[in-house]
Structure 1
Amino acid sequence: MTTPSIQAVLELERIDKDIFRGRGMDSQVFVRTFGGHVAGQALVAATRTVDESKRVHSLHGYFLRAGNADSETIYMVSRVRDGRSFATRKVEAIQEGEVIFSMQASFHVVGNKGIEHSDTMRNVPGPDDFTCTNDEAPEALRGLIEDWAEWDIRVVPHDKFDADERSSGNQLVWFRSKNHLPEDQTFHICTLAYMSDMTLLFTAMVPHPGKKVQMASLDHAMWFLRPFRADEWLLYDQATPSAHAGRALTQGKIYDREGHLVAVTVQEGLTRELREGAKPLPGPGDGAKS
């Protein structure tokens, strides 16, 4: 079974004015739907209903049920607001008649001017400045990296950067698509929505090496700040400020190779101790079970 390209993943079929259908994952690893897959497709559906003069700047999504990775998903878009500067869309992702994911996305008119500032990128070796094999990646990520064969994912060794002493745990990951992607900036934004869920929740396990937990994304928020390309190197600077009561909070800042802050993510996930005989879900974004 071959994992579909990101172009195939994000190519939705329009079946009515504001209703779309997305393909399944064809995954070697995931039984439950990967959160980035459904979030990326949901964002594509939303963008198909917004005028090209506006571009998505944020999304907030909730994983409500564990979807089937190999099943098609229906996306129903509600046009919440169309203003002069902003537009808002709500998207529901449906499998077998049930909503598995709900998202709101906000769009802002292109070309506004205002104040400018941003955090600076951490001092970290470039993606070609350290060795990185799958065997050297964190154990929980190895099978997933193999499944994401069209992505170049390089986890920076912890002895290669200075961790934030105030942070509970940090993880740094360089990543990019191995294949050249279309020029359309909206395509790169939807691709980043897909890619942003790849490693983020695993940051919660950095302070707890060897600990076995049940993992699933509960919600995911993103802010898209500056133009970028997902087929050029991006640094995902991840932190986990808290874990408590079976849930962990993770945050990420995404920089391009020149150090421009291009996106910010926040995600809360299930990190519940495994009951006897239970197995961890196969990866982040599998969707929460009630």
Structure 2
Amino acid sequence: MPSGLVALLDDVAVIARAAAASLDDVGMGVAKAGSKAAGVVIDDAAVTPGYVTDFTPERELPIIWKITKGSLFNKLVILLPIALLLSAFLPWLITPILMLGGSYLAFEGAEKVIEKFGGAHHGETLEDPVSDVAVFEQARVSGAIRTDLILSAEIMAIALAQVADSTLLTRAVALALVGILITVGVYGAVALIVKMDDIGLHLAKKQGKGTQAFGRMLVNGMPKVLTVLASVGTLAMLWVGGGIILHGLEELGVPAPAHLAHGFEHWLAALAGPLGAVLGWIGYALASAVVGLVLGAVIAVLVHAIGKLRGANVH
């Protein structure tokens, strides 16, 4: 065999081995990043059904598909390039940006709590006459995509931290795969949740008493599940937003609030014995939610006060 061809085959073998090693690095990066981001993924799945409920059944899946496309755009077109650029040139800016996003989540969650306890509704709801269904639907989708942007930023930041020591290419591929896999998983689960009552209705019409009973259980139970998820979604906005603020303050040299929250977490964990890890996590989530609620309420008061002043100036 000519020596030139042997050399070429050797080069191809080296490239193949390098590619295989890179794929291994990407796979490990995706696994690490995905596991660390799991908490925010749960929050995302809890928040989203609230934007879809109360619409007619034929609009539910199209709305979820619109939100899914918006989520992929958030992660792959907006956040991925920004994350890579910031990690390369301005890594110190990541924490303040995340804190701004956390403040927005806290504001959204606090607004929902205020409305729940009798405060004025801000924006059109399905309890009011809807003047234009298409415009209202688009507003719901836009709101879901804005919330997804903040949650996705947290997911991408967590993922980035897990592959920070990798090459730029490995970071990019790992973040893209994490973004795609999490988006498909979250919105696939959301689609299943919101269509479960339709599945139950279909099963209730089948033959067999057991199948019919299970179908009726789904039909009767899903409104309650969606109500619970709506509350969990609001709580998720508060605890994720508050948690981002606590972590951000710690990163910026103000550790006292985070230390207090962790102290509460460890105190509850010590009380619970074998269930300490679970109760401790719940304690930290509650502490974060309190921070989010207080901060969000302050922002809500300021936002609406400024809105009233602007309205008065216009008149």
> Which has more radius of gyration?
2
The structure that is helix-richer by fraction is 2
The structure that is strand-richer by fraction is 1
